[in-house]
Amino acid sequence: MKKHRNGGGFLNAGQQKLINSMTKRFMGQDVKLRLLQNSGIMINGLEFTFMGESIGKESNKGFAVSITGDEIDKDRLKLSTITMTAGSGHKNTSVTKKLVRIQKSDGKYAYQAKFPNTFIPQSEDMSGMDKLDALMAGSKNQFVFKLTPYYEGEKETEVMITLYPFESILTGAATLYKKVTSNTNYYADSLKR
């Protein structure tokens, strides 16, 4: 019997459909968001981009973005605005919001921006599509966020980015940890190592 390998590459349509079906059963049909991993680092004064997507049911109640970390508590990392671009194609919508530094109930601080009434579409079934093609073309259930950190600390620090839908704050939230540096030559310096 011959074994077929996909060479460690992309999943075939049947495998992706099975994973999507299992994810929906496991995750339920709540409004859920996911933050997509990227290998970037937040650098003082340079625009940083991250992406989120819907992995649950649709909602028209919107979501919020929250960014927390030790240097935010100490007021040494500052953020001013965040731009969110939603959807793909002709329905692409861009909104810029002020990131407000708020004090949480535990006494620590967070930068927060709310996007009320922003439509969160139902998660897409990618079983008939090549995932890379879908990511390159942009997906209707994706959200792209851009912000610029202002940080002059000598050491790298870390922040937690949280994206949570208002309809299911506890069960639908997603988090992503990102490093922040004041070294504007970070990538060039890392090549020297």
Question: What's 97's domain CATH number?
Answer: 2.60.40.1510
With respect to residue 156, please indicate whether it lies within any of the assigned structural domains: yes
15 is a domain residue: no
Task: Tell me the residue range of the domain where 135 lies.
Answer: 30-192
**Inside any domain, residue 3:** no
Tell whether 12 is covered by a domain: no
Instruction: Give the pLDDT confidence of 91-121 residue by residue, as tens digits.
Output: 668 999 999 999 999 999 999 999 998 999 8
State the alpha helices, DSSP H only, in 113-157.
131-137
Q: How many domains does the chain have?
A: 1
Q: What is the pTM of this model?
A: 0.77
pLDDT tens per residue across span 22-45: 655 555 578 999 999 887 899 999
Domain membership flag for residue 21: no
| % pLDDT > 90, the chain | 57
- Other Cβ atoms closer than 10 A to 4: 6
